[in-house]
């Protein structure tokens, strides 16, 4: 009995490892020596301390030190995310980027397969369709929004409603077409009443976004709105403090700007967004079309 992991803890560990496997992380090791020496009482205490569902990669481990040896093995070393010009305040806890670092030969198809008919967070309850992403899998420019709305939920495509039509106009004003870029969201299922996705939903779904970005590896990522920017930059700082500035996101340049839905409510902000997109055009060497989007 002394060297055995209690059944309920084993079940919870299995759930968590399955979750990591769904994210494409398949290499694990266990420190047999430390777990075999774990006293039964401590093991039961560990079981009680383990979170009930495997929903987050960001939370601090709550297991006693002896169980923390169950770590993900690094397959490919990738430099950590770097944000410039000034470091932004980041959320505490291990980085979500750790998940994207460990996947070798990943593809968008494999990510979609791993996502499956996902029920990992409560957003699955009201969705009609998972909105995975759409566009050129080798795009130099990726737009990341917040989450699907009603039209997107019905059609299974990102940015196809009113805000989507405005985004399309902006893309065309840059001298591109939608098929030239890739468009996706932080969460893949529509939040009820189009509310902002909650932290647990973002934490659960965003590893799939990070994998998409890792596979596409675009030159430029444009974050549409605060949720996308805060998720990728791992910051709590308001978007107005860094909107329109070039930042580094791993191997890509990142520009945060306002969400098209915000522009529908605040048309005066269109000029600011157009300035941001002109910076993107300059960096990508795009000639653009005459005039800004109406």
* Contact range with ligand SF4 by CB under 6 A, out of 19-27, 39-47, 182-190, 221-229: 182-190
Residue 111 interacting with ligand SF4 (CB under 6 A): no
Minimum Å gap between C-beta 86 and ligand SF4 is: 31
| Of the residues 57, 174, 189, 226, which one makes contact with ligand SF4 according to CB under 6 A | 189
Nearer to ligand SF4, 123 or 173 (CB): 123
| Of the residues 23, 118, 210, 213, which one makes contact with ligand SF4 according to CB under 6 A | 118
Strand partners, 291: none
Residue 144 interacting with ligand SF4 (CB under 6 A): no
Q: Output the CA torsion 9→97→159→109 (10° steps).
A: -70
User: Do 45 and 66 form a contact (C-beta atoms < 8 A)?
Assistant: no
Residue 201 interacting with ligand SF4 (CB under 6 A): yes
- Greatest C-alpha distance within the chain: 75
Report the alpha-carbon distance of residue 209 to residue 218 in Å, rounded: 13
| Of the residues 43, 121, 142, 277, which one makes contact with ligand SF4 according to CB under 6 A | 121
Minimum Å gap between C-beta 187 and ligand SF4 is: 4
Report the alpha-carbon distance of residue 130 to residue 128 in Å, rounded: 7
Tokens of 59: 């939370």
Residue 115 interacting with ligand SF4 (CB under 6 A): yes
- CB atoms under 10 Å from CB of 77, counted, come to 8
Residue 123 interacting with ligand SF4 (CB under 6 A): yes
| Of the residues 58, 102, 120, 211, which one makes contact with ligand SF4 according to CB under 6 A | 120
| Of the residues 130, 221, 228, 254, which one makes contact with ligand SF4 according to CB under 6 A | 130
Nearer to ligand SF4, 187 or 254 (CB): 187
* Contact range with ligand SF4 by CB under 6 A, out of 14-22, 111-119, 172-180, 241-249: 111-119
Residue with tokens 């870029």: 181
Residue 96 interacting with ligand SF4 (CB under 6 A): no
Tell me the CA distances in angstroms from 273 to 114, 142, 248, one per residue in order.
35, 16, 19
Distance of CA 97 to the CA centre of its chain: 9
Tokens of 92: 């505490």
Minimum Å gap between C-beta 269 and ligand SF4 is: 28
292 secondary structure, DSSP code: -
Helix (H) or strand (E) holding 22: helix 7-22
Residue 209 interacting with ligand SF4 (CB under 6 A): no
Residue 205 interacting with ligand SF4 (CB under 6 A): yes
Residue 108 interacting with ligand SF4 (CB under 6 A): no
Q: Give me the DSSP letters along 17-79.
A: HHHHHHTT---EE--HHHHHT--HHHHHHHHHHS-SS---SSSPP-S-GGGTT-EEPPSS--P
Nearer to ligand SF4, 163 or 184 (CB): 184
List contacts with ligand SF4 (CB under 6 A). Answer: 115, 118-121, 123-124, 130, 187-189, 201, 204-205
């Amino acid at each position: 009995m002394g060297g055995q992991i209690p059944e309920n803890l084993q079940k919870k560990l299995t759930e968590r490892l399955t979750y990591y496997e769904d994210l494409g992380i398949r290499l694990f090791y266990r420190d047999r020596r430390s777990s075999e020496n774990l006293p039964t009482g401590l093991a039961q205490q560990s079981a009680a301390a383990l979170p009930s569902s495997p929903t987050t990669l960001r939370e601090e481990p709550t297991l006693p030190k002896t169980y923390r040896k169950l770590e993900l093995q690094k397959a490919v070393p990738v430099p950590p995310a770097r944000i410039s010009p000034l470091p932004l305040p980041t959320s505490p806890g291990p980085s979500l980027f750790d998940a994207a670092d460990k996947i070798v030969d990943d593809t968008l198809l494999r990510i979609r397969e791993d996502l499956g008919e996902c029920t990992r967070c409560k957003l699955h309850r009201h969705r009609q369709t998972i909105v995975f992403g759409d566009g050129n899998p080798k795009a130099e420019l990726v737009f990341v929004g917040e989450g699907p709305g009603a039209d997107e939920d019905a059609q299974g495509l990102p940015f196809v409603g009113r805000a989507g039509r405005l985004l399309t106009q902006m893309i065309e004003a840059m001298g591109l077409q939608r098929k030239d870029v890739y468009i996706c969201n932080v969460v893949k299922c529509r939040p009820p009443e189009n509310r902002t996705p909650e932290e647990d939903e973002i934490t659960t779904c965003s590893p799939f976004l990070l994998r998409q970005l890792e596979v596409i590896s675009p030159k430029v990522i444009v974050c549409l709105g605060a949720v996308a920017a805060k998720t990728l930059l791992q910051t709590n700082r308001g978007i107005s403090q860094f909107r329109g500035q070039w930042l580094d996101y791993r191997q890509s340049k990142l520009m945060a700007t306002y969400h098209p839905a915000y522009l529908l409510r605040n048309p005066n902000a269109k000029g600011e967004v157009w300035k941001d997109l002109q910076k993107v055009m300059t960096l990508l060497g795009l000639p653009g079309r005459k005039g800004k989007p109406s």
